[in-house]
């Protein structure tokens, strides 16, 4: 297992439409181990494969409280099959360090995906889990939180992120 480097906006690899995983191989399981370790190290509640430069339709989520037992969920080739209601949450993203924005999304979603045994499952979620599923699923289509905010806010976020990047030391 290894902690991978998380790509930051405006890295172009965050805009790629990811390809289906299709078969859950040992390499995919190893990738998921790395993704979970990277997410927990950040720390974050979700991480999609494109955020570490792997253009595959795959994400991990753990919305369990930090002081309780972990609840890692793996979504392989997910599809959101139902959306209900509207809600707004203050979201963050590991690819937008230090930025938090109110974003409007569906209140409840049903997602169909496969697990690491290759079995299809369906899950209806609400609350933070529903938000995380929609946020991570967006990453698989190259869609980012900045695409959900107004043009004015987008310009402000863009400026803030470029400023941060300019003062950042080069990273290995
Ligand atoms: Zn994100």
95-124 per-residue burial string, b: 16 or more CB within 10 A, e: under 16: bbeebebebebbbebbbebbeeeeeeeeee
Mean confidence (pLDDT) of the chain: 94
Per-residue model confidence (pLDDT) at position 58: 98
Mean pLDDT across the stretch 122-146?
97
E strand or H helix at 89: strand 87-91
The CATH classification of domain 12-168, taken from the options 3.40.1160.10, 3.90.45.10, 3.30.1600.10, 3.40.309.10: 3.90.45.10
Per-residue model confidence (pLDDT) at position 41: 95
Asked if residue 171 has pLDDT above 60, the reply is: no
119 Cα–ligand 1 center, Å: 26
- Surrounding ion ligand 1 within 5 Å at CB are 93
Mean pLDDT across the stretch 19-38?
97
Give me the residue spans of the domains in the chain. Answer: 12-168
CA-nearest of 9, 6, 5 to 165 is 9
pTM beyond 0.85: the answer is: yes
- Cβ partners under 8 Å of residue 151, min gap 6: none
Q: Under a CB-based contact definition with an 8 Å cutoff, are residues 155 and 88 in contact? A: no
- Cβ partners under 8 Å of residue 165, min gap 6: 8
Per-residue model confidence (pLDDT) at position 165: 77
Per-residue model confidence (pLDDT) at position 168: 67
Mean pLDDT across the stretch 94-104?
93
Residue 75 CB neighbour total at 10 angstroms: 24
36 Cα–ligand 1 center, Å: 14
Per-residue model confidence (pLDDT) at position 172: 53
Mean pLDDT across the stretch 148-171?
81
Q: Which residues form the catalytic set?
A: 136
72 Cα–ligand 1 center, Å: 17
Asked if residue 163 has pLDDT above 90, the reply is: no
120 Cα–ligand 1 center, Å: 24
């Amino acid at each position: 297992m290894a902690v991978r480097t998380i790509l930051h906006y405006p890295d172009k690899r965050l805009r790629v439409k990811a390809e289906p995983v299709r078969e859950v191989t040992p390499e995919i399981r190893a990738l998921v181990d790395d993704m979970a370790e990277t997410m927990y190290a950040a720390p974050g509640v979700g991480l999609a494969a494109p955020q570490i430069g792997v253009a595959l339709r795959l994400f991990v989520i753990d919305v369990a409280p930090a002081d309780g037992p972990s609840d890692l969920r793996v979504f392989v080739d997910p599809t959101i099959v139902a959306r209900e209601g509207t809600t707004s949450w203050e979201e963050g993203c590991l690819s937008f360090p230090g930025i938090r924005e109110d974003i409007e999304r569906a209140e409840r979603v049903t997602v169909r995906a496969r697990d690491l045994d290759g079995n299809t499952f369906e899950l209806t979620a609400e609350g933070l889990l529903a938000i995380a599923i929609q946020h991570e699923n967006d990453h698989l289509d190259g869609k980012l939180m900045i695409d959900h905010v107004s043009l004015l806010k987008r310009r402000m976020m863009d400026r803030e992120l470029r400023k941060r990047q300019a003062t950042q030391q080069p990273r290995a």
